[in-house]
Amino acid sequence: TIIHLFKEIFKAGLELQEDNHSKALLVSRKKKPEDTIIEINGEKFGDGNQHFIFGPCAVESYEQVAQVAEQVKKKGLKLLRGGAFKPRTSPYDFQGLGFEGLEILKRVADEYDLAVVSEIVNPADLEKALDYIDVIQIGARNMQNFELLKAAGEVNKPVLLKRGMSATVADFINAAEYINSRGNGNIILCERGIRTYETSTRNTLDITAVPILKQETHLPVMVDVTHSTGRRDLLIPAAKAALAIGADGVMAEVHPDPAVALSDSAQQMDFEMFDRFMKEVKS
């Protein structure tokens, strides 16, 4: 019948549209079917193995960072995270040590042969920060700070891009495309929980975003278990789920003494728990 024919044309048109749209993106599997592998200090993100990034929420002092680095090194890990520029909800909360914090990270990283992951929040700081860090982190609150994305797209360093608090998977992929479209294709995506009505966790870990991102893009996908849950008691179960569903790695916060941490004290692991985490999670 005519109606049936019409429906078929309609469906074909629909698929055509979607097809064209996905095909256009540089980060999409349609554009590049094989996995992008990003090598950082010997770790190859996207190669099918599990990778880990640990470190304190915020850089507080040389001693604090060095203590964490020692534990990271002892476990055979290669990356260290730490916040020097801290985007905080209130202007009166600890805002991080800035470049002084990056200097501490760099010094410790050199001593322990680790690569540094740290968040940059201002496009103007990016160039200078490249001397200190190995991976540029772009945080959830800045996922649609397009000026920062463009700036990160013009440098030659891997970018760890966190999903925005209310970003759809499509928004997230487009944010990565901003970076890639400027020339930098070394992007690691990081699911970190989305904002929902549920209050038993700080955010809701959208675990199925991981296989969707792996299907739709060729980029490595990590899960930040600290910010998605906001609860120390959920870090190990969440990490197991993340790796089981196909994440390329897990990110979590470790602090020598979480109770006195200048930020996020309720959700960082101490060293005893860090040991347990690696024993239970790593396969």
Residues near a second copy (CB under 8 A): 6-7, 9-10, 13-14, 16-17, 24, 87-92, 121-124, 141-142, 144-148, 165-166, 168-171, 174, 177-178, 181, 194-201, 204-212, 215, 228-229, 233-234, 237-238, 240-246
Burial of 36 (0-12, 13-18, 19+ CB in 10 A): middle
Angle, CA 271 vertex, CA 268 and CA 274 arms, to 5°? 70
Q: How far is the CB of 240 from a second copy (least distance, A)?
A: 4
Q: How far is the CB of 70 from a second copy (least distance, A)?
A: 30
Nearer to a second copy, 131 or 237 (CB): 237
Q: How far is the CB of 175 from a second copy (least distance, A)?
A: 8
3-class SS string, 91-105: CCCCCCCCHHHHHHH
Site of tokens 């507080």: 60
Q: How far is the CB of 90 from a second copy (least distance, A)?
A: 5
Nearer to a second copy, 49 or 196 (CB): 196
Nearest by Cα to 98 from 108, 89, 86: 86
Sign of CA pseudo-dihedral 222, 224, 228, 229 = positive
Q: How far is the CB of 29 from a second copy (least distance, A)?
A: 13
Cβ neighbours of residue 230 under 8 Å, at least 6 residues apart? 193, 201, 202, 203, 266, 267
Gap between the Cα atoms of 104 and 99, Å rounded:
9
SS3 category, 172: helix
Q: How far is the CB of 67 from a second copy (least distance, A)?
A: 28
Nearer to a second copy, 34 or 233 (CB): 233
Cβ neighbours of residue 199 under 8 Å, at least 6 residues apart? none
Nearer to a second copy, 76 or 92 (CB): 92
Nearer to a second copy, 110 or 147 (CB): 147
Nearest by Cα to 51 from 184, 242, 216, 275: 242
Nearer to a second copy, 71 or 268 (CB): 268
